[in-house]
A and B are shown apart, each in its own frame.
Chain A
Amino acid sequence: GQQLNQSPQSMFIQEGEDVSMNCTSSSIFNTWLWYKQDPGEGPVLLIALYKAGELTSNGRLTAQFGITRKDSFLNISASIPSDVGIYFCAGQSTTSGTYKYIFGTGTRLKVLA
């Protein structure tokens, strides 16, 4: 199935550092979502973006909806050990009118205390 390209694929950072990851697509999306998944669990929604250029924060997390509507990025400031996990972006496609969500390949984050 279709997937979004997410980078980096994985990253190791020191506690307290800022983290940045992005998601790109060849298609235009109307909605961008960012999720975090812990092992053996379902993804948890972090931030939802609905308009091109929109910048939204949720605590230490900030995400932006790219102007071209083909990309989005997520920043995590002052990382802490519990930030470890896999981060997925998801874009909403209106193909065939189903408004389904296409997921990125994921960024695996590891935080070193």
Chain B
Amino acid sequence: DVVMTQTPVSLPVSLGGQASISCRSSQSLVHSNGNTYLHWYLQKPGQSPQLLIYRVSNRFSGVPDRFSGSGSGTDFTLKISRVEPEDLGDYYCLQSTHFPRTFGGGTKLELK
């Protein structure tokens, strides 16, 4: 199985500050069709996960441009600039290149 290692586990931030979350996979996430199926989700307390970024760097509909994704192969990053209160919660990376699909362990973005 592809192991998704997400760091840090906890990330204290100040409002208006910047945050960066890393996600590393144990195998390349490049599919045989050339696409890389690495996605980022935010789960706010008591809610379902919501899609932020799909296929490494594409912002989902309605996601502000403060969120950006980058990376390739096995190494990926989610960056959040100008952190706002509604950005707080648990962030997960997900790979859907290989079976079984696997999530990172999560990063809790919280106020410093």
Q: Is B a genuine binding partner of A? A: no
Chain B residues near A (Cβ < 8 Å): none
